[in-house]
Amino acid sequence: MKILVTGSNGLLGQKLTELLENDKSVELIATAAKPSALPISQGKFSLLDITDVQAVDRLVDEVRPDVIINTAAMTQVDHCEVQREACWKANVTAVETLVKAAKRNNVHLVHVSTDFIFDGTKELLDENAIPKPVNYYGESKLAGEKVILGSDISWSILRTVLVFGITKDMSRSNIVLWVKKSLEQGKTIQVVNDQWRTPTLAEDLAMGCYLAANKRARGIYNISGKDYLSVYDIAIRTAEFFKLDKSLIKETDSTKFTQPARRPPRTGFVIDKARKELGYEPRSFEEGLKLLASQIDQGG
């Protein structure tokens, strides 16, 4: 099976690249807008900016993959709020381009989406929950989904939540690494107690992408962690696991923060469908921390 991965330099992209390289049945074509952050030994790497229509068309037509896994996106929520044109180009227009290329070459498209398409008034959502984004990032990701839903290609949409993990070069931060680094430096941090998520280990999300690609699964799937935690709980558990001073973590709520983009207060996913149809089974949050710690000890 020939799989083309977009956004291979991101946290998810790196984990997916490592996973696919270890599968002898997969011919990997990893792509990113900048030179590869990982050595690619069992596949190929191509520079690709997914917002460049001609470049996408040229590469997909040349490679003719069986599956495209689209992990590339503009995901920094506050940047999306203020840089709307760039956000739309990356999260919607680029999806239109990939859909057209997939249709032309009879490719199955696996597309990664987000819990931020929801307004956060309901928690532990299944795949039938009604989207209602509260920020521009969520609007753009929902619009990207609608492009795929309105197409006649073979597709999987994988929605995920608050991804954490570590890259080889430590270039990508996330809630766990931010808490760990801040406490190690003796900094006091303010952490909200009124936002709840099912945090997702990047390796688990990569496996969800692989399972959907391997099965050419059709439909929407929730791919997240299984523990429903407040952001404050995440910080406390991280401090406890790494034996850091949790008294430096000050409990607060989102009304105390001024951010360009609103956040949905409560999301979190029910993952029963992915478990049943894909065989997806994520680690617990503590198991994810244990894996992350072992990777830090190994230098990433």
Give residue-wise pLDDT tens across range 19-45. 999 999 999 999 999 999 999 988 999
Q: Return the CA Rg of the chain.
A: 19
| SS3 of residue 181 by DSSP | helix
Element (H, E) at 69: strand 67-70
Question: How many helices, marked H, and strands, marked E, lie in the chain?
Answer: 11, 13
Of the candidates 204, 216, 291, 281, which has an alpha carbon nearest to the alpha carbon of residue 16?
204
Taking CA atoms, 60 is separated from 43, 106, 134, 155, in Å, by 16, 11, 34, 16
pLDDT tens, residue order, the chain (300 aa):
999 999 999 999 999 999 999 999 999 999 999 999 999 988 999 999 999 999 999 999 999 999 999 999 999 999 999 999 999 999 999 999 999 999 999 999 999 999 999 999 999 999 999 999 999 999 999 999 999 999 999 999 999 999 999 987 766 689 999 999 999 999 999 999 999 999 999 999 999 999 999 999 999 999 999 999 999 999 999 999 999 999 999 999 999 988 999 999 999 999 999 999 999 999 999 999 999 999 998 865
- Domains in the chain: boundaries: 2-165+199-225+267-282
Mind listing the pLDDT tens digit for each residue in 33-81? Answer: 999 999 998 899 999 999 999 999 999 999 999 999 999 999 999 999 9
Structure tokens at 188: 């006091």
**Phi and psi angles of residue 15, each rounded to the nearest 5 degrees, phi first:** -65, -40
Rounded Cα distance between 166 and 171, Å, is 8
DSSP 8-state code for residue 226: S
The pTM of the full predicted model, rounded to 2 decimals, is: 0.97
Contact 166, 292 (CB under 8 A): yes
Pick one of 3.40.50.300, 3.50.50.60, 1.10.1040.10, 3.40.50.720 as the CATH number of 2-165+199-225+267-282: 3.40.50.720
- In sequence order, the 6+-apart residues with CB closer than 8 A to the CB of 199 are 161, 162, 163, 164, 175, 176, 224, 225, 227, 229, 234, 285, 288
Structure tokens at 300: 């990433």
